[in-house]
Amino acid sequence: MRKKQNDNVYHRNMSGLLLGACLALLMLNSCDTAVNTPLFTVEPLPYAETALEPYMSAETLQYHYGKHYPGYVEAANRLTGQNRFKGKSFEEVIAQTKGRPDDANIFNQVGQAWNHAFFFQALSPQGGGLPQGRLAQKIDHDFGSFNKFKSKFVAVAKELFGSGWVWLVLDEEHLKIVSTANGDTPAAHGLKPLFVVDVWEHAFYLDYQNQRIDYVKAVLDHLANWDFAALQLAQHLP
Ligand code: FE2
């Protein structure tokens, strides 16, 4: 009888140990899955490749969305797969690599992956025209008028030497237009992006050749998704 009781206790203890071990393995596995999740995925294009014509051709999007963007995502995920970046957010990786010459490639690839995801969302086949509501009021207040805002945006694009991005951002409570070079991104400067135009040559050369400013004006007039920009404003400045 005593042996039977001991056996039962032994089996209960072993069952408990096995259950505990299984739970620990499950937790380890899920933790491991969390830290091994790539930082980026290629976000779906929110319109057809032909939808932005004639202002941005399907051929441009086939190269830009189909080849350049996934290339940045692949490089960013490969480079942030190192132990020092595991489990880090985009903002944390940017803060950790900013201004460090040895990390310049990581900083630029990670910035490019994020910037491109934002850029394709910031365009729309129904884009252009005038912003509405609070965004329109804020543009009028901070730039004087929508036309003055557009002139400033084009001027900043003209001034940018080499490859980069022109952004409408929120700096604290004020709208600003800034450019960033290469893969630099507003998160590195404490700025909240509302809208962007990619002014790397791969974004426009097939359609506009060397006429970068014609491309920027066409995006502002016909493709800019002001509803998307208004949504960003509402999120950052409720
Ligand atoms: Fe690009």
Q: Is the pTM of this model over 0.75?
A: yes
Asked if residues 147 and 154 have their Cβ atoms less than 8 Å apart, the reply is: no
Q: Provide the token pair at 218.
A: 């066409």
Ligand 1 centre distance from Cα of residue 219 (Å): 14
Least confident of 15-19, 145-149, 151-155, 189-193: 15-19
Ligand 1 centre distance from Cα of residue 75 (Å): 14
Ligand 1 centre distance from Cα of residue 121 (Å): 13
pLDDT in tens, 7-52: 444 444 444 444 444 344 444 444 444 457 899 999 999 999 999 9
pLDDT in tens, 197-235: 999 999 999 999 999 999 999 999 999 999 999 999 999
Ligand 1 centre distance from Cα of residue 198 (Å): 6
Note the maximum CA span of the chain: 94
Confidence of residue 82 (pLDDT cuts 50, 70, 90): confident
Phi, psi (deg, nearest 5) at residue 165: -140, 145
Ligand 1 centre distance from Cα of residue 214 (Å): 17
pLDDT in tens, 43-77: 999 999 999 999 999 999 999 999 999 999 999 99
Alpha-carbon gap, residue 88 to 94, rounded angstroms:
10
Cis before 238 (ω within 30): no
